[in-house]
Structure 1
Amino acid sequence: MSSSKPSFSDYFGKLGGIPMYKKFIEQFHNVEEFEARPDDLVIVTYPKSGTTWLSEIICMIYNNGDVEKCKEDVIFNRVPYLECSTEHVMNGVEQLNEMASPRIVKSHLPVKLLPVSFWEKNCKIIYLSRNAKDVVVSYYFFILMVTAIPDPDSFQDFVEKFMDGEVPYGSWFEHTKSWWEKSKNPQVLFLFYEDMKENIRKEVMKLLEFLGRKASDELVDKIIKHTSFQEMKNNPSTNYTTLPDEVMNQKVSPFMRKGDVGDWKNHFTVALNEKFDMHYEQQMKGSTLKFRTKI
């Protein structure tokens, strides 16, 4: 573990029993008091589930396929990260309060921590989910490249923490199941990352319909082209390369790393996979939620 970083336990606190960055917890009263507007759109994910991809698709929809307009500013300014509060980089609540409507809001919060005003104002919410094995791999590499976060001792160690819910935002299982329950609400659209990878056109059409937007072949084609993995990986407004190495060291691992379905097979040992499968079965028992770990 890098000596310049604090230990894992020093870096995180608990918010409603859920591990969270201490800096976010310090300012969380501002999140709780956040005033939603009826035309706010909230994008919610468990971390490393395709948040930036979905955010850019929504930006393209809101800008009627105008690529240049989407490139005018970085994604974390166009879609502020609600609960994020860091001294120098971003403050989601402040950014959102200064924005004109309609606003697109990004959050990783579980159902119980999302500001109540979003429910009171009947805002539309899109939840994007991704299979747990690919999430844990992506999350591991993300934590390695975010300079301030303490490194896990090993991938195996991180998977153990992930299974125990001792990573930022807590248990993937609880997070995903709680949002799946909320998807009974017609204002909540629940999507799967694997479906987007398999048939992006179908999922973009679903988004346009949910948002009450007209879908033309030309618009859908533009969205698909602009939001392909390679395009976004090369786009400074989506690949986070505008942030300095002191914040995200992309020499360690790029922010847009692979975006594949099934990359977990390159990292899980047979024993770890068996252990994870057993744990997964226990945690998801009784849930109607089904994920694909390959397509």
Structure 2
Amino acid sequence: MPLRSDDIFVVTFPKSGTTWTQELVWLIGNDFNYEKAAAKLLTERFPFLEGSLFFNGEKAKKALLDSCNGDVVKMKILEEMSKPGYEVVEKLPSPRYIKSHLPLSLLPPSLLDTTKVVYVARDPRDVAVSYFHHNRLFTLGGFTGDFEQFWESFHKDMLDWTPYFEHLKEAWDKRNHPNMLFIFYEDLLKDLPEAVRRVAKFLNKPVNDEQLERLCNHLNFHNFKNNKSVNNEPMREFGFLAENESFIRKGKAGGWRDYFDEKMAAQAQRWIDDNLRGTDLRLPQKN
């Protein structure tokens, strides 16, 4: 995949604050053009590099075609969604904004020497909870189990994009590279204005107090949840989203405590300790 020197990637393990960060990065990079952001879906402004993989399996293709029910417009949309990400981004004007959940080792080898990368990490227990709801939201996946079943698959590295800690540690090892900005989702929640300043400095984009205040208000969870350009609602028109789940959910840290019983919490802590042993990586939130 050919890279350009002004490309900007947002790379995360799924459900680590990706969408929130994409909107933040795009608006800073595009001089706070809220009108354009509202008029164009985030998925178009900031395409998902490997997203087409979800639409090219045989079962997925059948479900997609059935959902179109002969609607020519819908079929055209699905045709676009099925195109390989590298073909989609190749046609984008510079600077390109690209999202990926792939670990650095599965992205172009020259990525950090060529482009800027914002990597967002999050407590894996909260990631697991959010990922659980995400899999219940997208009906194409066919997941119908409970959280305990999902957690078993998550911490045993049996889900898409796992193993979680290898993903995280690859990025952590590159955190001091001048083209890498490594941030924790919990830090975004704790002090969004400071996080905005860090991103703006990383992108070499000045930001004044008025711009900072407006962007933080735009990213306020209530406003963000109701922002139609970021919440994946077009997928609902195809019948791919469960009615009782939402794409933008709660936007908080520590919610995992409502899902883990004592045994699961102890198991999770051992898993975290085992994977962080021998590293200087520490999660920002204590259990």
1:167 equivalent in structure 2: 159
Q: 1:286 aligns with which of 254, 271, 278?
A: 278
Q: 1:79 aligns with which of 46, 49, 53?
A: 46
Deviations 1:155-197 (A, max 9, x none): 1111111111111001111110111001121111100100000
CA contact 1:82–1:107 (8 Å) conserved in 2: yes
- TM-score for both structures, normalised by structure 1: 0.84
Larger mean CA deviation between 144-153 and 54-63 belongs to 144-153
- Tell me by how many angstroms 1:126 deviates: 0.7
1:21 equivalent in structure 2: none
1:249 equivalent in structure 2: 241
Percent identical: 33
Cα distance in 2 between the residues matched to 1:166 and 1:75: 29
Cα distance in 2 between the residues matched to 1:102 and 1:174: 29
- Tell me by how many angstroms 1:243 deviates: 1.6
2:87 equivalent in structure 1: 94
- Tell me by how many angstroms 1:64 deviates: 1.6
CA contact 1:44–1:127 (8 Å) conserved in 2: yes
CA contact 2:49–2:98 (8 Å) conserved in 1: yes
Cα distance in 2 between the residues matched to 1:67 and 1:250: 29
1:5 equivalent in structure 2: none
Cα distance in 2 between the residues matched to 1:292 and 1:62: 27
Cα distance in 1 between the residues matched to 2:240 and 2:224: 17
Deviations 1:30-72 (A, max 9, x none): xxxx111110011000000011000001111122222111111
Larger mean CA deviation between 62-71 and 257-266 belongs to 62-71
Cα distance in 2 between the residues matched to 1:149 and 1:284: 31
2:33 equivalent in structure 1: 66
Q: RMSD of aligned C-alpha atoms?
A: 1.6
Matches within 5 A, 1:208-287: 208-244=200-236, 246=238, 248-287=240-279
- Tell me by how many angstroms 1:210 deviates: 0.6
Structure-2 change in CA distance of 1:245 and 1:264 (3 Å): farther
Cα distance in 2 between the residues matched to 1:129 and 1:231: 23
2:70 equivalent in structure 1: none
* Residues 1:158 and 2:125 aligned together: no
Cα distance in 2 between the residues matched to 1:135 and 1:43: 17
- Tell me by how many angstroms 1:117 deviates: 4.2
- Tell me by how many angstroms 1:152 deviates: 5.3
Structure-2 change in CA distance of 1:119 and 1:202 (3 Å): closer
Cα distance in 1 between the residues matched to 2:14 and 2:239: 17
Cα distance in 2 between the residues matched to 1:294 and 1:69: 39
Matches within 5 A, 1:171-210: 171-210=163-202
- Tell me by how many angstroms 1:293 deviates: 3.3
Matches within 5 A, 1:140-159: 140-151=132-143, 153-159=145-151
Which segments of 5 or more consecutive residues in structure 1 lack a partner in the other structure? Answer: 1-33
- TM-score for both structures, normalised by structure 2: 0.87
Deviations 1:261-282 (A, max 9, x none): 0110111111110111111111
Matches within 5 A, 1:6-45: 34-45=1-12
1:108 equivalent in structure 2: 101
Cα distance in 2 between the residues matched to 1:294 and 1:223: 29
Q: 1:118 aligns with which of 111, 115, 122?
A: 111
Q: Could you say which structure has the higher helix fraction?
A: 2
Deviations 1:204-234 (A, max 9, x none): 0000101111121111112111111111110
Structure-2 change in CA distance of 1:294 and 1:64 (3 Å): farther
* SS at 2:99 equivalent: strand
One-letter amino acid matched to 1:269? D
Which segments of 5 or more consecutive residues in structure 2 lack a partner in the other structure? Answer: 57-77
